[in-house]
């Protein structure tokens, strides 16, 4: 018996085909109630192979836990405070806010820079012009300004 046969239950020379990755064995069995010799699938971190009649658990391919990483810099939280008809309405509702907090005025995204509300991009106008954008939030270092990445769809 070769190491390949021992570890994975697949005869030497048999082609191996990865059929997917599934969160549970039941999910794998639902997707592939029967397989073919050489079929393999990941269930979590365990490699399963089809032995001709059932899915058989092979080795757990998870490695040992790594060392903890360095502590990152302190960050500021940011939140979207709402949507307002005018800048005056926003300023009345929130004369001050947390640094990097955001609010919409019409289609324009405003952020608070620590002293005032600052207009960012007019997202509604960009969307109407066919520009797509993706927004994501991450912890921001103190005194940093939020950024919005905008990309043109061809």
Each residue's pLDDT tens digit, 15-57: 678 888 899 999 999 999 999 888 888 999 888 888 889 998 8
Quick check: 56 and 6 in contact, CB under 8 A? Answer: no
Write the DSSP assignment of 25-81 as a string of letters.
Answer: HHHHHHH-SS--TTEEEEETTEEEEE-SSSEEEEEE---PPPPPPPPPPP-B---EE
The answer to whether residue 154 scores a pLDDT higher than 50 is no
100/49 same-domain check: no
Whether 91 maps to a domain, the answer reads yes
What range defines the domain where residue 101 resides?
80-152
How many domains are contained in the chain? 2
143/91 same-domain check: yes
Whether 69 maps to a domain, the answer reads no
Whether 73 maps to a domain, the answer reads no
41/13 same-domain check: yes
Confidence of residue 136 (pLDDT cuts 50, 70, 90): very low
Whether 9 maps to a domain, the answer reads yes
Mean pLDDT, the chain, rounded, equals 76
Q: State phi, psi for 112 to the nearest 5 degrees.
A: -95, 120
Q: Which helix (H) or strand (E) holds 123?
A: helix 123-128
The answer to whether residue 1 scores a pLDDT higher than 80 is no
Give the pLDDT score at 138.
47
Whether 51 maps to a domain, the answer reads yes
| 96-133 tens-digit pLDDT | 887 778 888 877 778 888 889 988 766 666 666 665 55
pTM for this entry:
0.41
């Amino acid at each position: 018996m070769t190491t390949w046969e021992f570890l994975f239950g697949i005869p030497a020379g048999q082609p191996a085909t990865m059929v997917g990755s599934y969160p549970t064995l039941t999910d794998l069995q639902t997707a592939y109630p029967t397989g073919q010799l050489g079929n393999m699938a990941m269930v979590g971190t365990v490699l399963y192979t089809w032995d001709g009649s059932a899915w058989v658990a092979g080795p757990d391919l998870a490695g040992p836990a790594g060392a903890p990483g360095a502590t990152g810099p302190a960050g500021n939280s940011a939140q979207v405070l709402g949507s307002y008809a005018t800048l005056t309405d926003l300023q009345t509702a929130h004369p001050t806010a947390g640094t990097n907090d955001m609010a919409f005025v019409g289609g324009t995204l405003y952020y608070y820079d620590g002293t005032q509300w600052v207009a960012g991009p007019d997202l509604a106008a960009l969307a109407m012009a066919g520009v797509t954008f993706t927004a994501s939030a991450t912890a921001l270092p103190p005194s940093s300004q939020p950024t919005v990445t905008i990309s043109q769809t061809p």
